[in-house]
């Protein structure tokens, strides 16, 4: 067992560095840093407005604005496409660079190779996006001064931030498993990424049993702040359904991720490399 752990740890060390320093994934950093930059500008302009005596946002309004940003940007764009860039390239990127055969020549079981690559990608995604979420939430209300610091560091905002970070980790975990598998079995991972994106964004309009075949449905139910629904006229097409409680959503996402990884490991057993295709 110690040999298995050493092999997985070795893969994680190699892949962690390669994934963080990958030239193919530089745009993932832009996705992660974009909201922090926007909230920094928001804080700067709001502080200036306060200094000029203009009425600014209330603390409650800032929490609502961040909740909308988290639901619309982080979950549907940032983390989603960040996971595409990080996890799809774990296998497909090596195939394009013609380096995957070095791993396949090493005496390591394919299952442990899949697990090591997944964990390394998960570490990169979690570090990038949890830092971005934490920085964005802190900066969006920074112009409130001591009241916002008290709210985030000692008040109800601390629990909200912890919940947002948990959702971020679960999103990276779920989407990571989906796109690692797609990068392993599909020559062009952008095709399944487009299909998954359309399906996830159609979620509000689907009946309950179809909503459950998605990741966003489980993540939305964990949000600590309710956000406005879809405005008219599309609101008439929305199918209302009760959110899944966290006691079911969290283990449910873990089970889905494990199932996808198990299937990826099964496919990796028969993986053959032909760079001439």
State pLDDT tens for residues 136-156. 988 888 777 788 788 888 888
Q: What is the pLDDT of residue 185?
A: 84
Q: Which residue has the higher pLDDT, 248 or 119?
A: 119
Average pLDDT over residues 14-37: 79
C-alpha dihedral sign at 230, 207, 250, 196: negative
* pLDDT(57) > 70: no
Place of tokens 């892949």: 15
Confidence of residue 14 (pLDDT cuts 50, 70, 90): confident
Confidence of residue 229 (pLDDT cuts 50, 70, 90): low
- CA 244 → CA 30, 197, 199, 240, distances in Å? 32, 21, 18, 12
Average pLDDT over residues 99-121: 84
Place of tokens 């990826």: 264
CB 91 within 8 A of CB 150: no
Average pLDDT over residues 34-62: 70
Confidence of residue 108 (pLDDT cuts 50, 70, 90): confident
Average pLDDT over residues 25-50: 77
CA dihedral angle for residue 95, residue 99, residue 101, residue 103, rounded to 10 degrees: -110
d(CA 86, CA 27): 10
User: What does the mean pLDDT of the chain come to?
Assistant: 81
| Domain definitions of the chain by residue range | 14-45+57-269
- CA 32 → CA 20, 70, 86, 262, distances in Å? 13, 12, 12, 29
Average pLDDT over residues 79-84: 92
Confidence of residue 175 (pLDDT cuts 50, 70, 90): very high
Q: What is the pLDDT of residue 119?
A: 93
Confidence of residue 239 (pLDDT cuts 50, 70, 90): low
Average pLDDT over residues 237-257: 78
* pLDDT(270) > 70: yes
Average pLDDT over residues 205-224: 81
Q: What is the pLDDT of residue 131?
A: 94
d(CA 159, CA 270): 45
Confidence of residue 132 (pLDDT cuts 50, 70, 90): very high
CB 110 within 8 A of CB 269: yes
Phi-psi region of 167 (alpha: psi -120 to 50; beta: other; left: phi over 0): alpha
Cα 112 from chain centroid (whole Å)? 23
Q: What is the pLDDT of residue 272?
A: 72
Average pLDDT over residues 234-257: 74
């Amino acid at each position: 067992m110690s040999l298995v752990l050493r092999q997985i740890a070795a893969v994680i060390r190699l892949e962690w560095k390669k994934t963080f320093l990958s030239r193919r994934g530089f745009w993932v950093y832009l996705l992660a840093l974009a909201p922090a930059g926007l909230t920094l500008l928001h804080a700067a302009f709001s502080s200036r407005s306060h200094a000029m005596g203009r009425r600014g946002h209330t603390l409650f309004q800032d929490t609502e604005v961040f909740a909308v940003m988290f639901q619309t940007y982080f979950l549907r764009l940032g983390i989603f496409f960040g996971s595409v860039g990080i996890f799809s390239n774990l296998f497909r990127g090596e195939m394009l660079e013609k380096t995957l055969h070095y791993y396949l020549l090493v005496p390591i079981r394919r299952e442990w190779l899949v697990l090591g690559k997944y964990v390394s990608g998960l570490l990169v995604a979690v570090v990038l996006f949890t830092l971005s979420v934490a920085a964005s939430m802190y900066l969006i209300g920074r112009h409130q001064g001591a009241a916002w610091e008290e709210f985030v560091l000692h008040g109800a905002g601390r629990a909200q931030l912890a919940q947002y970070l948990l959702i971020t980790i679960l999103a990276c975990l779920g989407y990571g498993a989906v796109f690692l598998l797609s990068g392993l079995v599909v020559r062009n991972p952008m095709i399944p990424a487009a299909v998954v994106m359309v399906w996830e964004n159609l979620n509000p309009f689907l009946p309950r049993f179809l909503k459950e075949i998605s990741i966003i449905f489980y993540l939305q139910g964990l949000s600590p702040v309710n956000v406005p629904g879809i405005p008219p006229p599309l609101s008439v097409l929305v199918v209302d359904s009760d959110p899944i409680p966290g006691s079911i959503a969290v283990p449910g996402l873990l089970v889905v991720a494990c199932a996808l990884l198990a299937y990826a490991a099964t496919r990796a057993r028969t993986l053959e490399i032909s760079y001439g295709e």
